[in-house]
Structure 1
Amino acid sequence: MKSVIQFLVILATLAGMVILSFFSKSMDEGNASASMYYGILAILIISAFILLFRWDKRRIQKEELELRQRVDARVRVALNSKHPVEFYARPSQFVFLVFIFILSLGSIYLGVYLLSDLPSTEWLLGAAFLSGGILFSIASIALGIRLIGRPVIRLDLRGVKHFRFGFIPWSEVTDVFLQTVVIKGNQVFSLRVATINKSIYLARLPRWLRVFHKLEPGGLSLPLPLSEEDARVVDGVAKGYANHAGAPTIEQKISRRVVDEISSIQTSQQRIKRLHKLMTETSGEFEKRRQEISRINMLYSVILILGVIAIFVRAWVKSK
C-alpha cells in the first residue's frame, strides 16, 4: 500500500506541474476560459492531495493500532504459557543474501580483472575489490547457512539464544530493548542487550565482525531479520522473561526506585508530582541512550559511503 501511495503522489505531482505550465501559458495568451479550466484542475489536484494524505494518515493509525493489538496478544500468550518461543527469518532476507552474494561475485571478477590489467605498482584498487568480494561472499554464505531452517532468536525463562551470539542468560542481562533503524524506507531491527561482561559474547564472533561490535555503545546488538510484528513480539517477550527471571535490567532498577520513592511520600499530590518528575528523568535517560546509538550508526554509514565513493573515484581517475 505504501508503494501504491508513493506512486500516486508522483503521478499527481507530475500532473500538477503539467497543468501549472498550461495555466501559465493560457494566462500569457489571455485565454480566460482555458485559464479557468486549468485552475479548476489544479484545485482538484490539490484537494486530492489533501484527501490522500488524510486518508493515508488514518490508514497508518489504524494499522498501527491493529499491529499493537496483535503484538500484545502474542506477547500475552507467550508469557502466560512460559514456553520457549522461536522466531525465523523472513523470506526476503534470503533474497537479500542472494543479491549480496551476486554483487560479491561481481566484485571478485572486477578485482581479478584490475589486478591482471593494471601495473604492479597500482595493485591496491584491485586488491580492495577482490578482498571485499571474498569477504562479503563468505559472510553471505555463512549467514545463509546459519538461518536456513534455524531460528534467528529463541527466548525462554533461562535466557535468549541468538544465531550470532549464542546463549545469553537473563542473569547476565542489564538492559534490553528494541532498536529500529530506517534505511531507504526499510526498517531494520535489532535487539539491544547490555550484559555484565560483554567480552564473553564478543569472543564468539569472527574477528572481522568483532571489531565493529566493540565500537558500539549500549551492549550487544542482536540483528533481527524479522517482520516488524515479530520484532516487536521479540521485544515484549524478552522484557517479560527478563522481568520474570529477575534480571538486573535498567527498567527493573528504575521501577524499584520509583516504588521506593513514591512509597516514602505522604500526600497523594506530592506523589503525583514526584512521579511526573521521575517519568521525565527516565524518558530523558532512554532518549539520550538511543541518540548515542543513532550517532554511532550514522558514523558507520558515512564511513561506508565515503569509502565506496573513494574507491569509484580512484577507479575513474586511473581509467583516464
Structure 2
Amino acid sequence: MWVLGKFALLVVMAISGLLLLVGSLPWLSYLLHDAPLPSRRIGALWAGTLGSALVLGIAIWSYRRLERQRQRVLERRRQAHLQATRHDRAFRARGRLALPLLLIPIVALFGFGSRAAVATGHWGVAALLLATTLLVLWLAWQLLWQLLRPGPLLCMDATGIDHALYGPIPWRDVIGIQLQSTQTRYGQSHVLMLGVRGAARYLRNAPLLPRWLHGRKLRGPEAVGALPIPLGLLAEDPELVHQSARTLRERVGAPFVPYWHPRMDDKDIDVALRMQAMNHELERMTERMRSAPADSGTEQAIEFEAEANQHIQRHLAQHDALMPELNAVLERQRQRFQHDARRLRLLRWLPLVVLAAWLLSRLLR
C-alpha cells in the first residue's frame, strides 16, 4: 500500500510539475523578453498555473506526510518484532516478487531485439542479444527459485537462521553479523553478512552463481567465511532484520565477535575472541574485588588479596602474550586498507586512462 501510494503521488507530482512548467513559460517570456501574453486565455492561464502549483504543493506535502507515517509504522513494527524476538518467537520474512517481475520487460526487450537483428541479418548483434536474454532468464529463474520455495524466504528463531540460499544455519556456527548498506543512484541496497564457521558446508546448498561467486573467497572447508544474504528481496525493513538477528544470536552462548567484518580471517577472529575473553575475565575480577573484605588484617582478607594478585599477574601475562598478535592483526588490517585505497585510486583513474588511450589512437591515425 505504501509503495502504491508513493508511486501515485510521484505520478501526480510529475504531471503537475510538467503542467506548471508549461503554464509558466508564457509568464517567463513576458518577464524576460517582454513577449505578449495571450489576452483571450489569460484567465485560463492564471487558473492553470496556480492550480498546477497548488496540486504540486499538496502532492509534495502528502508525500512527505506519507513517508513520516510510514516511518512511524515501521518503527512500531520494529519494536514489536524485537519484543517478540526477545520472547523466543520466530522472525519470518517473505519475499517480494517486484524484482523478478521487473525482469520480464527486460527479457521481452532483448528477445524482440534479437529477433529484429536476425531479420535484418545482423548475426553478431543477434547472438549477443540472445546471450543476454538467456542470462537474464537464468537470473530470473534463480530469483524465482528462492521466492517460490515453501515457507518464508528468511526465518530466524532461537536455534538458527534459515534462508532460501543456504538452508538452516545454527547460531553456534555464526561468528559475526554485519549489515552492509550501499547508496546507489536509484536507492539503497542492503546485504546481511554472516560470518559462518565452515561456510563451505552451507554454500553447497546455494545455486550455481552464488556458489561460484562466494566460494572463491573461502579460505578452507572449516574456515570462517562470509555468506551474504541480500535483503532487497525481503518484504521487511533491513535494520529490523539485522537487529533481530543480533538479538537472537547474542542469546546463544557460543563465541561471537560483535565487531566482525568480512575482511577478518581466522587469525583475526581468534585474537578477537581471546581479547574478548580477557575483557570478560577482567570484568569478573573487578566485580570480585568490589566484594573484598573491609578489614584488611584478617586471614580471609590476606587470602583474598593473594588470590587477587595471582589473577592480576595471570591477566598481565596473558595480555603481554596477546599484544604481539594483536599488533600483527592491526598491521594486516592496515595493509588491507592501503591495498583497497590503491585499488580505488586505480579505478578512479581508469576512465581517464581509457579516454586518453582512445584520443591518442585517434591522433595517431
Contact 1:159-1:167 at 8 Å conserved across structures: yes
Matched with 1:14 is 18
Displacement, 1:95? 3.2
Equivalent positions of 1:121-200 (< 5 A) are 126-148=126-148, 149-180=150-181, 185=186, 188-200=189-201
Q: 1:226 aligns with which of 234, 249, 272?
A: 234
Please state if 1:85 is matched with 2:91: yes
Please state if 1:249 is matched with 2:257: yes
Q: 2:73 aligns with which of 40, 48, 66?
A: 66
Equivalent positions of 1:285-296 (< 5 A) are none
What CA distance in whole angstroms lies between the structure 1 residues aligned with 2:115 and 2:211? 26
1:262-294 C-alpha deviation (Å, 9 max, x unpaired): x98xxxxxxxxxxxxxxxxxxxxxxxx9xx9xx
1:184-221 C-alpha deviation (Å, 9 max, x unpaired): 75665432222345444444434443343368899322
Equivalent positions of 1:291-306 (< 5 A) are none
Displacement, 1:161? 1.5
Contact 1:112-1:130 at 8 Å conserved across structures: no
| Structure 1 unmatched ranges of 5 or more | 265-288, 300-320
What CA distance in whole angstroms lies between the structure 2 residues aligned with 1:160 and 1:12? 47
1:281-318 C-alpha deviation (Å, 9 max, x unpaired): xxxxxxxx9xx9xx99xx9xxxxxxxxxxxxxxxxxxx
With over 3 angstroms needed to count, the CA separation of the structure-2 counterparts of 1:135 and 1:93, relative to structure 1, is closer
Contact 1:198-1:220 at 8 Å conserved across structures: yes
Amino acid at match of 1:250: P
Amino acid at match of 2:257: T
Q: Secondary structure at the match of 1:86?
A: strand
What CA distance in whole angstroms lies between the structure 2 residues aligned with 1:227 and 1:178? 16
Contact 2:114-2:127 at 8 Å conserved across structures: no
Amino acid at match of 2:258: I
CA RMSD of aligned residues (A): 4.9
1:162-181 C-alpha deviation (Å, 9 max, x unpaired): 11122222223233244455
Please state if 1:3 is matched with 2:10: no
Q: Secondary structure at the match of 1:250?
A: coil
Question: Could you tell me the TM-score, scaled by structure 1's length?
Answer: 0.59
Contact 1:97-1:144 at 8 Å conserved across structures: no
Q: More helix per residue: 1 or 2? A: 1
Equivalent positions of 1:202-241 (< 5 A) are 202-213=203-214, 219-224=226-231, 225-229=233-237, 231-241=238-248
With over 3 angstroms needed to count, the CA separation of the structure-2 counterparts of 1:208 and 1:113, relative to structure 1, is farther
What CA distance in whole angstroms lies between the structure 1 residues aligned with 2:65 and 2:166? 40
Structure whose CA Rg is larger: 2
Contact 2:97-2:147 at 8 Å conserved across structures: no
Percent of aligned pairs sharing the same letter: 19
What CA distance in whole angstroms lies between the structure 2 residues aligned with 1:8 and 1:184? 22
What CA distance in whole angstroms lies between the structure 1 residues aligned with 2:69 and 2:97? 26
What CA distance in whole angstroms lies between the structure 2 residues aligned with 1:48 and 1:96? 30
Displacement, 1:129? 3.7
Q: Secondary structure at the match of 2:228?
A: strand
What CA distance in whole angstroms lies between the structure 2 residues aligned with 1:98 and 1:7? 22
Matched with 2:291 is none
Q: Secondary structure at the match of 2:161?
A: strand
Amino acid at match of 2:82: V
1:200-248 C-alpha deviation (Å, 9 max, x unpaired): 444443444334336889932212312234x444323211111111451
Count of residues in Structure 1 that have an aligned counterpart in Structure 2:
258
Q: Secondary structure at the match of 1:219?
A: strand
With over 3 angstroms needed to count, the CA separation of the structure-2 counterparts of 1:238 and 1:10, relative to structure 1, is same
Contact 1:111-1:127 at 8 Å conserved across structures: no
